[in-house]
Structures are given as C-alpha cells and as structure tokens.
Amino acid sequence: MNDLVPLKDFTPADLELWIQEAGQPAYRARQLLKWIYAQNVEDFQEMTDVSKDFRGWLEQHARIPSVMREKVLTDKDGTRKLLFRLLDGERIESVLIDEERRLTLCVSSQVGCALGCRFCLTGEQGYRRNLSAGEIVDQICAARRELGPEERITNLVFMGMGEPLANLQQVAKALEIITSDHGLNFSTRKVTLSTVGLVPEMLELSRLFPIKLAVSLHAADNETRSRIMPINRRYPLEELLEACRQLELPRRQRITFEYLLLAGVNDSSADARKLAKLLKGLRAKINLIPFNEYPGSPFKRPSPNRIEDFQKILQEKHYTATVRQSRGAGIMAACGQLTHSP
Ligand code: SAH
Ligand code: SF4
C-alpha cells in the first residue's frame, strides 16, 4: 500500500495534471474528485460511472485513504475524540465538538510539536514529523463518516496536535483542497488556524488564504511569555503584534487572541490591564482559555472568580472577551491534552 499514490495529497489542479500525465482524459480528474470529496468514497469499485478499466488502473496505482480510524471516544458532554493510525504506524487525534448551531472539527497538523510550550502535553512529548496534506484532509473525510444522518461539519479549526505554520507547505496544500469547490468546499470564513505566531509564515498564509487567524498570546509581557513559550525568544511580542497590525484582514474580520489562564502566572488584574493596553488599536477579540490540567503538569487552572474578573477588566476596556468552555476534558480531548502515544 505504501507505494500507491495517495490521492488526497493532490490539490484538484495537481490531480488533473497527474491524470493527464498518465494518458487519461482530464474529465476523469473531475469524476474522481466528485467521488472522493462529494461522495466520500474510499474504494474505487464504488465509482459506478467510471469505466471498469480505469478503476482497475487506479487500483494498481493509487489509494484514497491516508489515515485509518482506530477508535472513537465520546465524552459525556458529546465531544468525540477520533484516534487515527497513519501508514507508518504514527498516531494522531482529531476532535469533533458539538455546539448549539455548530459542529466543529479540530484537526492536527503534525505528529507532536517541536515548540515545547510548557503548558502543552503535545509540546511536552516532542516532535515526530509533519503531516502530509492528505493526512490533514483525510481527518475531515474520516470524521464525516462518524456523523449521524442530520449532522454536518460546519467549522474547521487547526488547533489539534502541532504548530500548523511550522508545516506551512502541507497545510497550504490542505487548505487548497478544503476550500476548493472541487474539494471539500468549505468557505474560508469557516476555517480558523491557531498559531504561536511564526511571523513570516503568518504573513505568507494571510496572502494565500483569507481564513481566520487565532494567535496564541498567553502573556502580555516578554518575560512571562518567554518563560512559558520558548518561541517568544525568536519572535517577541513587539514583532508579533507588528505583524498582526500588517495583516490584510477581510472586511469586518478580527484576529482572535487566545490567552491561556494559568493560576499565579499570568492571571492577575494587572496582567489583564497590560493585555488591554498591548492590543490597543488592533482589530482583536480575546478568547480566554482556562488551563486544562493533565497529569504531571506544574500549572493550575485559576478559580472561576479570577477568570471572571480577568474577563470583566477586558470588557470594561471594550474588548470582546469570551471564555472558552473546556470540552472533552473527560476523554483528554480538550486543548493541550492531545497526544500521539497510545
Ligand atoms: N500550535 C498551535 C495550535 C494548537 S494548540 C498553537 O499553539 O496555537 C491550540 C490552543 O490550545 C493554543 O492556544 C494552545 O496554547 C492551547 N493549549 C495548549 N495547552 C493547553 C492546556 N493545557 N490547556 C488549555 N489550552 C492549551
Ligand atoms: Fe506546539 Fe501549540 Fe502545544 Fe505550543 S501549544 S507546544 S505550539 S501544539
């Protein structure tokens, strides 16, 4: 199976090229794309309007799946954690989060992560490898297979394992497939990518796709941020926020700044005021994330009162500041709790 060409690694344009290079007419690429993405078929034999000969040829040369469903865990709050195995035996996770009018899929972009944020289980476990575009896209196709008849994935977030901008090449290819009407046909407004703020890649991404951006800020001064996020030594706050000011945002779109609340580290009222000052003039909204605890972590979640106070201070300064409900904590599927270990 390893030497078969993984079709979900191709953008629609690349698939057409590949089909033509194989001496097949271009319309066959469209036919294939329809079966793969609109019908979500994994077996060439189900492609009933494709000639038998061509189906046989495809079976010899290509494969559709890139991830294999291992199991699904469902939390009592309805959150589903999907565990996948990759062809080389690595494991990744995606999370389906069911909210009132939204069904959001959180996808992974790397096996592990090299950036080593102190509060993140994925980071603690280190980096294994980048995912291919097909492995990113196939998490969505596989998740769709888990849905009930009335369910539809409405939103996508790149907030699973890994730093998506550290794998920009494959992530960009995946976004092409995700947003193309010959691919998964998501509106760019329904896709959000979360990053620690790799500055050049952030600027490049915003030129390529008008998707929504979420920046993991987590501290309002360099000293605190460098202590919990080593990447801050490479791209300190001034540089990161300057890049945020330069981003060309679609009309009325704002940047989401994620702010993890760690008890006694960055959750004081003075921190909240510093944060408000730091984001002045930016088209920003703030998403407060109370720390999700996991075994072995030195950090603690602040009390509900502290969280509320922090939020109030930001709101008094006229920011939109929401508190992220931690979903899926019962099955270790909440932010920062994803792992590639079995
Ligand atoms: N690598 C990217 C995207 C994945 S993490 C990033 O860091 O932005 C998605 C969000 O979960 C980030 O804001 C991250 O800082 C946050 N997170 C990490 N560990 C967490 C934890 N233990 N509790 C709550 N949020 C956490
Ligand atoms: Fe990597 Fe994001 Fe975890 Fe930091 S928070 S270690 S960047 S996955």
The pLDDT of residue 19 is above 90: yes
Distance 171 CA to ligand 2 centre (A): 16
Alpha carbon distance 57, 18 (integer Å): 13
- Closest ligand to 291 CA? 1
Pocket flag, ligand 2, residue 163 (CB < 6 Å): yes
Residue 272 near ligand 2, beta carbon < 6 Å? no
**Stated pTM of the model:** 0.96
Residues with CB under 6 A from ligand 1: 119-120, 159, 163, 194-196, 216, 258, 260, 289, 291-292, 335-336
| 67-331 placed in CATH 3.20.20.70 | yes
Mutational test site, ligand 2, from 117, 118, 125, 215, max ligand atoms within 8 Å of CB: 117
Torsion of CA 168, 174, 177, 179, to 10 degrees: -70
Pick the CATH number of 5-63 from 1.10.150.530, 3.40.50.300, 3.40.50.10680, 3.40.190.80: 1.10.150.530
pLDDT at 333: 79
Tell whether the model's pLDDT for residue 159 goes beyond 70.
Answer: yes
List, for residues 214-267, the tens digit of each pLDDT value. 999 999 999 999 999 999 999 999 999 999 999 988 888 999 999 999 999 999
Q: So where are the chain's domains?
A: 5-63, 67-331
Confidence of residue 177 (pLDDT cuts 50, 70, 90): very high
What is the CA(7)–ligand 2 centre distance, in A? 29
User: Would you please indicate which residues are annotated as catalytic (active-site) residues?
Assistant: 93, 335
What's the pLDDT band for 2 if we cut at 50, 70, 90?
Answer: low
Q: How far apart are CA 86 and CA 111, in angstroms?
A: 10
Topology alike, domains 5-63 and 67-331: no
User: Where residue 284 falls among pLDDT bands split at 50, 70, 90?
Assistant: very high
